[in-house]
């Protein structure tokens, strides 16, 4: 016996060893099968080109390309819904040709149609009119749902449906849009405003999630409220968007009715998309950001029209630059403006005068 060796150990039972190796082998087979299942059919899919999963295991909708989201490009509103166009025609009728030509710079662009009427019948009529005009041009209409209960938390754009009327209203609108390939922007400010309106914290996100459920599966492209830079911490907004159902839709929108420049908003939107995970896409409102942020969101002096709206080439997560807010409509009774949503001709002409020149 070598020096320092311990007492001799009993010879191992060969039969017991064989049983042990058989057990280890069976366990290895089971583990391998589980791993294979996770790789092949599991929910992760983080490396899949369609972005249909995330490492956290969330199920994420396959995102469309920009061209798929906006087939045929952006549709123009029919004359009955085009508020700047109505004002342009009135100016021409009054013999104010120069004013009409200036307003035409707004009216001739594709502008989103806002749905704010609590009447189901009126809302459906508006949708059908816009969809029919878009179909004639083989282009994509853009709608804005803006009728959530306690809209704008009682501020300038206060209103919306009653609590129990919102989802029936959404479903009614969806029935009119179904199969149209329309783009739908769901409730500007509805998520971002939670940060400053405590009474929205409990009910708003579950309600929006139900609205998302109503919107999906009808051939529509849906974006949720992503706020804008310098408003809500990115991590907070990402969490709220996930709660609202962003994994089920194309992505989110930013800068609606606001004035931040594209490069700033794009940087913010990319950061937000990264925080959400699953590669959500986004669109940016550029209707009035031609002069950038002017110190306030409410009828700021010195603002100008932004770039012409357009669908992007689809090489990034940014699908389109849109005119969501109708230039010339007031933000509210601030800085000398009329009520929110009312036409303000002098402001419209100032926006045209200071428009982006690139």
- Residues pairing with 185 in the sheet: 144, 223
Catalytic residue among 225, 285, 319, 331: 331
Question: Please, what's the largest Cα pairwise distance for the chain?
Answer: 119
Q: Per the residue annotation, which of 50, 117, 152, 270 is the catalytic one?
A: 152
Active site residue 152: yes
Residue 350's nearest CA partner among 329, 328, 322, 324 is: 328
**Could you tell me which of 342, 345, 317, 199 has the C-alpha nearest to residue 251?**
317
- Bridge partners for 145 per DSSP: 115, 186
Residue 319 is among the residues annotated as catalytic for this protein: no
Reading phi first (left if > 0) and then psi (alpha if -120 to 50, else beta), residue 216 is in: beta
Is 189 marked active-site?
yes
Q: Phi, psi (5° rounding) for residue 59?
A: -85, 125
The vertex-162 CA angle with 161 and 164, nearest 5°, equals 115
Which of the residues 150, 189, 225, 319 is marked catalytic?
189
Query: Can you tell me the distance from the alpha carbon of 290 to that of 276, in angstroms, rounded to the nearest whole number?
Result: 29
Residue 229: other Cβ atoms inside 10 A: 21
CB atoms closer than 10 angstroms to residue 179: 9
Contact (Cβ atoms closer than 8 angstroms) between residue 318 and residue 284: yes
Question: Which residues are the active-site residues?
Answer: 152, 189, 331
């Amino acid at each position: 016996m070598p020096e320092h060796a311990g007492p001799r150990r009993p010879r191992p039972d060969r039969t017991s060893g064989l049983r042990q190796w058989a057990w280890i082998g069976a366990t290895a087979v089971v583990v391998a099968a589980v791993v294979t299942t996770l790789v092949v059919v599991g929910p992760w899919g983080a490396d899949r080109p369609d972005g249909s999963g995330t490492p956290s295991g969330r199920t994420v909708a396959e995102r469309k390309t920009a061209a798929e989201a906006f087939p045929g490009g952006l549709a123009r509103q029919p004359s009955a819904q085009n508020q700047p166009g109505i004002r342009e025609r009135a100016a021409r009728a009054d013999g104010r040709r120069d004013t009409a030509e200036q307003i035409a710079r707004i009216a001739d662009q594709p502008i989103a149609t806002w749905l704010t009427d609590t009447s189901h019948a009126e809302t459906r009529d508006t949708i059908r009119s816009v969809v029919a005009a878009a179909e004639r041009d083989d282009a994509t209409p853009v709608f804005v749902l803006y009728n959530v209960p306690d809209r704008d938390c009682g501020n300038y754009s206060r209103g919306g449906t009653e609590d129990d009327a919102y989802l029936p209203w959404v479903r009614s609108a969806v029935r009119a849009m179904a199969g149209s390939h329309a783009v739908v922007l769901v409730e500007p400010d509805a998520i971002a405003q939670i940060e400053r309106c405590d009474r929205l914290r409990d009910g708003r996100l579950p309600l929006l999630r139900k609205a998302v459920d109503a919107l999906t599966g009808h051939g529509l492209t849906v974006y949720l409220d992503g706020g804008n830079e310098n408003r809500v911490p990115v991590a907070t907004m990402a969490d709220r968007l996930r709660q609202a159902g962003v994994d089920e839709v194309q992505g989110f929108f930013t800068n609606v009715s606001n004035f931040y420049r594209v490069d700033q908003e794009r940087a913010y939107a990319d950061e937000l998309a990264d925080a959400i995970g699953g590669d959500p896409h986004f669109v940016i409102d550029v209707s009035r950001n031609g002069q950038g942020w002017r110190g306030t969101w409410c009828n700021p002096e010195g603002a100008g029209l932004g770039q012409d709206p357009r669908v992007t080439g689809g090489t990034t997560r940014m699908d389109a630059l849109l005119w969501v807010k109708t230039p010339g409509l007031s933000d509210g009774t601030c800085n000398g403006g009329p009520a929110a949503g009312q036409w303000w001709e002098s402001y419209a002409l100032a926006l045209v005068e200071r428009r982006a020149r690139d």
